[in-house]
Structure 1
Amino acid sequence: MRPLLPILSACALLAACGNEDVQPEPVRPVLSTVVEPQVQAQLGRFAGNIQARFESTLGFRVSGRIARRWLDVGAQVKPGDTLATLDPTDQQNQLRAAEGDLARVQAQWINAQADARRQQQLYDRGVGAQAQLDIAQTNLKTTGASLEQARSAVSQARDQLGYSTLRTDHAAVITAWQAEAGQTVSAGQAVVTLARPDVKEAVIDLPIALAEQLRHDLTFTVASQLDPSINTTATLRELEPQADATTRTRRARLTLASTPDAFHLGTAISVTLTSAVTPRSELPRSALLERDGKTQVWVVDPQGKTVATRDVTLAERGPDSIILSSGVQPGERVVTAGVNSLKPGQKVIFDEDAR
């Protein structure tokens, strides 16, 4: 019986070695993310500001020296409010000269009327000559024409005096002054810029390459830079046809779907440009597994807590993310780290469960 003891010892040793080789695979903690469909593609984010859709630049209709500027930038004005005045000395002198000419011509017209009346009476009694009557009537008509001319000159001089006061004809906000008190300006020279605050729009500058590809179905999201929760959507109203020579950009003006109260004139905004695309998925680049000429990802089975490879179609590859056009479904969980150290069917623990 003694020879059996070494044999039994050897069998026990072999059995122990076999048990060590059949140890279960360890459960591996992984980082993962849930696939979400992407139906909008972001084309860029640009800085801009809120401006009035309607702006007007006013100037005096006569030349002169600005005597006073009545309001400052940011002031709200009503129709008829005075913005600035010129030194009216020249216009007042012109008005007085025109009124003097009018008085002189009026006296001449009265004399011409009296002379024409006397010549008519003499002619009716048969003691006056036809030639004298004709001369008196012609002089009356000439003086009457001079009278009308003198009255027009006085009216024009009064208008010139009124033009020395710059007024607004609509409600607006002063956004800029181009001239100061004491400065001499010419007729029509820009003096002040007014903006109508009732209609506002977003203004941004776009790169030429992007501006040339804009389509009508693009959506603009306009948000305040100070508080992104204040936002609205917008559509393209106008795209300047010529690019700026310095920045090589084209200015775009957007019509706001709604105007939040916080969107004051000059408010800094952030405009995000998106476009409708075929549904696709965006994942971190670390989720991509490339081997044997295939592009794959590890998909987690939520029931068995195991992983399996899935062939996917790569639409775009970025420095930090990838865009998949097919291969995964919304709601599936994909491993995003350590993809090269996993095995098919390996049990994993989600990053959420690990926490």
Structure 2
Amino acid sequence: MKAVIALSAAVLLLAGCSKEEQAPEPIRPVLSVEVKGLDQQSLGRFAGNIQARYESTLGFRVSGRIARRAVDVGSQVEKNQLLATLDPTDQQNQLRSSQGDLARVQAEFINAQANARRQQELFDRGVGAQAGLDIAQTDLKTAQASLDQAKAAVSQARDQLGYSELRADHAAVVNQWKVEVGQVVSAGEEVVVLARPDIKEAVIDLPAGLAETLPEGVEFRVQSQLDPSVATTGTLRELEPRPDSATRTRRARLTLRESPAGLRLGTAISVTLSSSIAQRLELPETAVQEVDGKTQVWLVDVQNKTVNPRPVTVLSRDRGVVVLGSGVQAGERVVSAGVNSLKPGQKIKLDEASRQ
């Protein structure tokens, strides 16, 4: 009986050992990242705003005191719309004076006409002298010249009165007023700045060092600061030749490829500069492991949920990011944390957050 019990215990012990040998390795949860290929190099992000490519500064053609500003900054105006007026008193007085002179000269001309006609009739009847006729005709020509001059003076005075009104020479947006009501301005002095809203551009200030070394084919991505979904791209149209003495920046003007409605004049924007480079692969430094003087990553087999080491070539390391030259391809997935405790062919459980 004792022999039977001992034999049974031995059988049970052997069965337990067999089960321990056949126990599967534990499944390890890991964090992973997808290898992404980068073919653009960021050169920085800069703030700016949307401006009109074409602006015009208007002023009165005559001197005077500003009587009224008809529109405010930001107003949309049409061609020939009234913008501002001067006190027209001086121009009105000049017009009245010219009109009075014209009336006097017209009367003198009528008298000269009548006198010349009378002298001609006397001369034709043989009772008038040639000298008298010549004097009358000369007086008529003089009166005619005075009449023409008076008419021109009235026309000029009327124009001067019209110049007391400042009107838009094209459809535009009022960008800036440089005078206030009551201010006395001289002829030609800058009064208002108009911007054409149909052709807009992005304006930013670049550090002088970057502006001098911009690579060929640099791409500018323009986004609204308030709504980044409002975006377009631009190309460099103009770069100021000299940096600002205070900020050491050079102003760049960009032609927009498209003109979204959200990019209105004055909109604050962010402009990201990038340039094309040979494709490179980047991974977090935690995904790279040094083993026996060789560099490797743990490649994830998503279908079988296993990992295996893969040798890679590192080109550079900077601020926790490793740039790879070979060994993996864009789209593959590698373990990003816990690489030191993995074994080839080990079963893993991918963290769902890391797979996004």
TM-score of the superposition, structure 2-length normalised?
A: 0.81
Letter in 2 for 1:124: D
Tell me the equivalent position of 1:6.
Answer: none
Q: Alpha-carbon deviations, 1:231-282, whole Å to 9, x = none?
A: 1222222223332222222222222222222222211111112222221122
Kindly tell me: are residues 108 and 291 of structure 1, through their superposed partners in 2, closer, same or farther at Cα, counting changes over 3 Å? farther
Tell me the equivalent position of 2:127.
Answer: 127
Q: CA deviation at 1:86?
A: 0.9
Q: Alpha-carbon deviations, 1:95-138, whole Å to 9, x = none?
A: 11111121222222222222222333333333333333333322
Please tell me whether the aligned partners of residues 312 and 328 of structure 1 are also in contact (alpha carbons under 8 angstroms): no
Kindly tell me: are residues 94 and 28 of structure 1, through their superposed partners in 2, closer, same or farther at Cα, counting changes over 3 Å? same
* Alignment of 1:214 onto 2:214: yes
Letter in 2 for 1:205: D
Stretch deviating more after TM superposition (196-205 or 124-133): 124-133
* Alignment of 1:154 onto 2:151: no
Alignment of 1:81-96 (within 5 A): 81-96=81-96
Q: 2-side partners of 1:257 and 1:112: how far apart?
A: 71
Letter in 1 for 2:307: T
State the secondary structure of the residue aligned to 1:273.
strand
Q: Alpha-carbon deviations, 1:26-45, whole Å to 9, x = none?
A: 87655432111112222211
State the secondary structure of the residue aligned to 1:187.
coil
Please tell me whether the aligned partners of residues 82 and 166 of structure 2 are also in contact (alpha carbons under 8 angstroms): yes
Q: CA deviation at 1:284?
A: 2.4
Kindly tell me: are residues 290 and 109 of structure 1, through their superposed partners in 2, closer, same or farther at Cα, counting changes over 3 Å? farther
Letter in 2 for 1:282: E
Q: Alpha-carbon deviations, 1:289-317, whole Å to 9, x = none?
A: 578887x3414152573342523141x54
Q: CA deviation at 1:90?
A: 0.8
Identity of aligned residues (%): 63
Tell me the equivalent position of 2:139.
Answer: 139
Q: 1-side partners of 2:116 and 2:325: how far apart?
A: 102
Alignment of 1:44-63 (within 5 A): 44-63=44-63
Tell me the equivalent position of 1:270.
Answer: 270
Tell me the equivalent position of 1:186.
Answer: 186
Tell me the equivalent position of 1:73.
Answer: 73
Please tell me whether the aligned partners of residues 78 and 171 of structure 1 are also in contact (alpha carbons under 8 angstroms): yes
Please tell me whether the aligned partners of residues 243 and 250 of structure 1 are also in contact (alpha carbons under 8 angstroms): yes
Kindly tell me: are residues 146 and 352 of structure 1, through their superposed partners in 2, closer, same or farther at Cα, counting changes over 3 Å? same
Structure 2 gap segments, 5+ residues each? 1-23
Please tell me whether the aligned partners of residues 25 and 346 of structure 1 are also in contact (alpha carbons under 8 angstroms): no
Q: Matched residue pairs, number?
A: 331
Tell me the equivalent position of 1:7.
Answer: none
Tell me the equivalent position of 2:109.
Answer: 109
State the secondary structure of the residue aligned to 2:169.
coil
Please tell me whether the aligned partners of residues 287 and 298 of structure 2 are also in contact (alpha carbons under 8 angstroms): no
Q: CA deviation at 1:215?
A: 4.9
Root-mean-square deviation (CA, aligned residues, Å) is 3.0
Tell me the equivalent position of 1:21.
Answer: none
State the secondary structure of the residue aligned to 2:61.
coil
Please tell me whether the aligned partners of residues 44 and 272 of structure 2 are also in contact (alpha carbons under 8 angstroms): yes
Kindly tell me: are residues 297 and 143 of structure 1, through their superposed partners in 2, closer, same or farther at Cα, counting changes over 3 Å? farther
Tell me the equivalent position of 2:12.
Answer: none
Letter in 2 for 1:310: P
Q: 1-side partners of 2:223 and 2:139: how far apart?
A: 77
Q: 1-side partners of 2:165 and 2:288: how far apart?
A: 72
State the secondary structure of the residue aligned to 2:117.
helix
Letter in 1 for 2:52: A
Please tell me whether the aligned partners of residues 40 and 274 of structure 1 are also in contact (alpha carbons under 8 angstroms): yes
Letter in 2 for 1:236: L
State the secondary structure of the residue aligned to 1:170.
coil
Please tell me whether the aligned partners of residues 47 and 268 of structure 1 are also in contact (alpha carbons under 8 angstroms): yes
Stretch deviating more after TM superposition (129-138 or 191-200): 129-138
Kindly tell me: are residues 244 and 104 of structure 1, through their superposed partners in 2, closer, same or farther at Cα, counting changes over 3 Å? same
Kindly tell me: are residues 64 and 208 of structure 1, through their superposed partners in 2, closer, same or farther at Cα, counting changes over 3 Å? same
Q: 1-side partners of 2:353 and 2:237: how far apart?
A: 52
